[in-house]
A and B are shown apart, each in its own frame.
Chain A
Amino acid sequence: MSVFINQNTRVLVQGITGTEGQKLARKMIEFGSQVVAGVSPGNGGGWFMDGKIPIFDSTHSAVELTGANVALVTVPARFAKDALLECAAANIRLVISITEGIPLKDMMLVKRFYQMNGVRLLGPSSPGILSPGLSMIGSFPFREIKPGGVGIVSRSGSLTYEAIDTLQAAGVGISTCVGIGSAPIHGLGFIEVLDAMQMDMATQEIVLIGKVGSDEEIEALAYAQNNILKPITVYLYGYSHSDKNNIDLISDDFAIAKTMEELADILTIKRNYSEISST
């Protein structure tokens, strides 16, 4: 089990002929993801990686002919709106946008269109989503990741990497890791991901990485208090950037990690405890 993706996830890469798109597609394949199509307007009919992956001019025909159901959008900021809307119009159900710096107006329109059509969006400025052994869509600089029971949901891409790195070094395995994206207006929020992790059998506990003083985090933690039964450990960043402090609101209900090592400590101590108590 996993969140939003599984072994049947068929990935389409929009912008597969760009430097970034090529690099990411190769990495995803190395990781074991099923990359089934590329889209690059003007380059349709070509192939990526020696005839392995067909390239299409339109996302719609790529979906029709390859059965792609998840898209990674790597196109530059000024073309991102069109690319993201094209994915939703082509009936893709989950779209990951890693692009940084998309204008807010464009994102307002994209978000609205996605909500209307019930399409899930991760990002923009998302590192992507990964579930060890099943699929990885996006950019995660790890050769392999040990599966386990910890689900990670994070606003920050770079701190997602830190968390995976520290937890793996401490022997803690990951169920699914979801980057909601650090762009001010993004698709899925913490609450939707927490709900999905609550329902996921593989996720036993959750790590939430968010920004100090941000409304979305405050709302999500208030929601989690009453609705999420799995234990949550929270790592917040930006103390030096904010006068608002949401940590006081939450300290009784969640474990708070001030550093990544503390995060690993909390999870390993808990894990050992549960192992001991279950024997």
Chain B
Amino acid sequence: MRLNEYQTKQLYMRYGIPVPRGRVASSSREVQQITEELGGQVVIKAQVLVHGRGKLGGIRVARSTQEAEKHSMHILGKLLHKLPVHKVLVDELISFEVQYYVSIAIDQTAGQPRLTAYTLVNVNNGNGVFQNDPVEFLIDPLFGLLEFQIRDIALHLDLPREHWGQFKQAIQGLWNVYWECDAIKVESNPLVISDDNGLIVLDGEVELDDKALFRHLELAEMRDLMSEDSIQKEARKYGFNFVPLNGNIGTVSNGAGLAMATVDTIQLFGGYPANYLDTGPCRTPGLAALAFKLALNVPDVSILFVNIFGGISNCLQVAQDLIQVVDEMEPATPIVLRLSGEGAEEAQLLLSTINVEIFNNFEKAIRHVIKKANMISEVGSYERVH
């Protein structure tokens, strides 16, 4: 789960990381007011979870209250990568010479956090940045980030000595956010030496481990619900992994590998998957039912393909859930299943009472589904994802 910039800065402040003075606003009146409080020179930044907000016109500098009002009217309500801007962050304008990038993110292969830092050098009047060779190292999770490591970064970045104390505090703060909040990534981009305030983080990003949110209920509430559509929200609620894919064959599978292989094979054989949906282990009654409803509601789905290999999941439970959904929704969408493994035979027997097609063989099932899907939808009206 990613935090918005204003939430990131609130968190950073709590951990002693210096950030600009500023507040979040949802109307241009508020923006005007905050601009006055901050002395008239501000940066107005759209609070949506997309990368490259600046290039998309979501970040603007205002040197007067009138300008701030004008910019905020432009940004609020704007769509950035299809996401509407409902909030802007109004920060005091900071001028600076040198800027640095510092991040701590998980290195999956090593199974340890990795810190990366480098100096950013402005080129082309601020239109592009060039990075110096980075300093990079793993942090031992048993000991955390050590002081000598922070000094090493400062030396590598050629950070002026008078800022070492502040630097130590900021980087230690970043590490504490990373470790104590169960983050998978914390970033300060950029960290600058301002003309008068010393060291300060102008922008940052925090991504939290969804699996650890149960021990950070306060942070869990910071989720930006605007950044997901309703189907994605539903999927997350039930612990499914869901990705929309623009085709016409809806899919439901158990296990990430099988779900990806299902989508891969549909594409390989010339079909167009509408979505990727991994239910995870399906043993609780009703869980598979939620997955079916979700996939049937994906726009443009003209056929539903259910691919289950029972193991920890049980095909019989999946079949019972499917019957419940068919009774409840009476979907017009044809349903094809491929069932194998735990409970497959019992499931097949149970499903003989309703109008669905069942296969044991993965590839035969997919070939059949594609043929059927092509008969229903006009061929060629869907774009392949890759």
Which A residues form the contact surface with B (CB < 8 A)?
20, 77-78, 98, 100-109, 111-112, 127, 139-141, 154-162, 165-166, 182, 184-186, 189, 209, 211, 215-216, 219, 237-241, 243, 258-261
Contact B309 A162, beta carbon cutoff 8 Å: yes
Contact B179 A159, beta carbon cutoff 8 Å: no
Q: Which of B107-115, B325-333, B374-382 contacts A (4 or more CB under 8 A)?
A: B107-115
Contact A238 B211, beta carbon cutoff 8 Å: no
- A54 CB to closest chain B CB (Å) equals 26
**Given A240-B260, A240-B264, A141 and B311 touching (CB < 8 A)?**
yes
B263 at the interface (CB under 8 A from A): yes
- A151 CB to closest chain B CB (Å) equals 18
Contact B265 A109, beta carbon cutoff 8 Å: no
Q: A157-B257, A158-B257, A237-B260 are in contact. List 4 more A-B contacts (CB 8 A).
A: A104-B182, A161-B341, A165-B309, A216-B109
Q: Complex: how many Å from CA A39 to CA B261?
A: 36
Residue ID in chain B nearest A185 by CB atoms: B111
Q: Complex: how many Å from CA A101 to CA B280?
A: 10
How many A-B contacts are there with CB distance less than 8 Å? 138
Q: Complex: how many Å from CA A104 to CA B268?
A: 33
Query: Looking at the complex, which one of B106, B263, B265, B362 makes contact with A104 (CB distance below 8 Å)?
Result: B106
B250 at the interface (CB under 8 A from A): no
B203 at the interface (CB under 8 A from A): no
8 Å CB contacts to A: which residues of B250-285? 253-261, 263-265, 267-268, 273, 276, 280-281
Q: Complex: how many Å from CA A39 to CA B188?
A: 45
Query: Looking at the complex, which one of A103, A159, A240 makes contact with B257 (CB distance below 8 Å)?
Result: A159
Query: Looking at the complex, which one of A112, A141, A184 makes contact with B141 (CB distance below 8 Å)?
Result: A112
Q: Complex: how many Å from CA A216 to CA B257?
A: 16
**Given A182-B257, A239-B386, A240-B263, A161 and B311 touching (CB < 8 A)?**
yes
**14 sample A-B contacts, Cβ–Cβ < 8 Å, listed by A number:** A101-B211, A103-B215, A104-B106, A105-B212, A111-B111, A112-B142, A158-B253, A158-B259, A185-B111, A215-B108, A216-B109, A239-B264, A240-B273, A240-B385
Contact B256 A240, beta carbon cutoff 8 Å: no
Contact A105 B209, beta carbon cutoff 8 Å: yes
Query: Looking at the complex, which one of B112, B182, B260, B261 makes contact with A103 (CB distance below 8 Å)?
Result: B182
Residue ID in chain B nearest A154 by CB atoms: B257
Q: Complex: how many Å from CA A241 to CA B184?
A: 20
Contact B243 A241, beta carbon cutoff 8 Å: yes
Contact B113 A238, beta carbon cutoff 8 Å: no
Residue ID in chain A nearest B261 by CB atoms: A237
Residues of A within 8 A of B142 (CB): 109, 112
Interface centre among A155, A219, A239, A260 (most CB of B within 10 A): A239
Residue ID in chain A nearest B139 by CB atoms: A108
- B contacts with A: majority SS: mixed
Residues of A within 8 A of B179 (CB): 105
Q: Complex: how many Å from CA A140 to CA B312?
A: 8
Which B residues form the contact surface with A (CB < 8 A)?
106, 108-109, 111-113, 140-142, 179, 182, 184, 209, 211-212, 214-215, 239, 243, 245, 253-261, 263-265, 267-268, 273, 276, 280-281, 309-312, 340-342, 362-363, 385-386
Residue ID in chain A nearest B140 by CB atoms: A112
Q: Complex: how many Å from CA A158 to CA B215?
A: 29
* Complex A-B, nearest 4 residue pairs according to Cβ-Cβ distance, in ascending order: A156-B257, A158-B255, A158-B258, A103-B212
Q: Complex: how many Å from CA A141 to CA B315?
A: 11
Contact A237 B211, beta carbon cutoff 8 Å: no
- A78 CB to closest chain B CB (Å) equals 6
Contact A185 B243, beta carbon cutoff 8 Å: no
Interface centre among B245, B264, B363 (most CB of A within 10 A): B264
Residue ID in chain A nearest B315 by CB atoms: A141
Q: Complex: how many Å from CA A103 to CA B210?
A: 8
Q: Complex: how many Å from CA A38 to CA B212?
A: 28
Residues of A within 8 A of B340 (CB): 161, 165
**Given A158-B254, A240-B273, A139 and B106 touching (CB < 8 A)?**
no
Residues of A within 8 A of B108 (CB): 184-185, 215-216
- A209 CB to closest chain B CB (Å) equals 7
Q: Complex: how many Å from CA A259 to CA B113?
A: 36
- B356 CB to closest chain A CB (Å) equals 21
Contact A241 B276, beta carbon cutoff 8 Å: yes
Contact A103 B254, beta carbon cutoff 8 Å: no
Query: Looking at the complex, which one of A105, A139, A219, A238 makes contact with B260 (CB distance below 8 Å)?
Result: A238
**Given A112-B140, A259-B268, A260-B363, A104 and B260 touching (CB < 8 A)?**
no
Residue ID in chain A nearest B141 by CB atoms: A108
Residues of B within 8 A of A161 (CB): 309, 311, 340-341
Interface centre among A105, A112, A243, A258 (most CB of B within 10 A): A105
Contact A141 B341, beta carbon cutoff 8 Å: yes
Residues of B within 8 A of A112 (CB): 111-112, 140-142
Residues of B within 8 A of A162 (CB): 258, 261, 309, 362
Query: Looking at the complex, which one of A108, A159, A243 makes contact with B112 (CB distance below 8 Å)?
Result: A108
Residues of B within 8 A of A141 (CB): 309-311, 341-342
Q: Complex: how many Å from CA A240 to CA B68?
A: 43
Contact A104 B211, beta carbon cutoff 8 Å: yes
Query: Looking at the complex, which one of A185, A211, A240 makes contact with B276 (CB distance below 8 Å)?
Result: A240
Residue ID in chain A nearest B312 by CB atoms: A139
Residues of B within 8 A of A241 (CB): 243, 260, 263, 276
Residue ID in chain B nearest A241 by CB atoms: B260
Residue ID in chain B nearest A184 by CB atoms: B108
- B163 CB to closest chain A CB (Å) equals 30
Contact B311 A156, beta carbon cutoff 8 Å: no
- A161 CB to closest chain B CB (Å) equals 5
Residues of A within 8 A of B256 (CB): 156, 158, 182
Residue ID in chain A nearest B342 by CB atoms: A141
Residues of B within 8 A of A211 (CB): 257, 260
Contact A155 B280, beta carbon cutoff 8 Å: no
Residues of A within 8 A of B341 (CB): 141, 161, 165
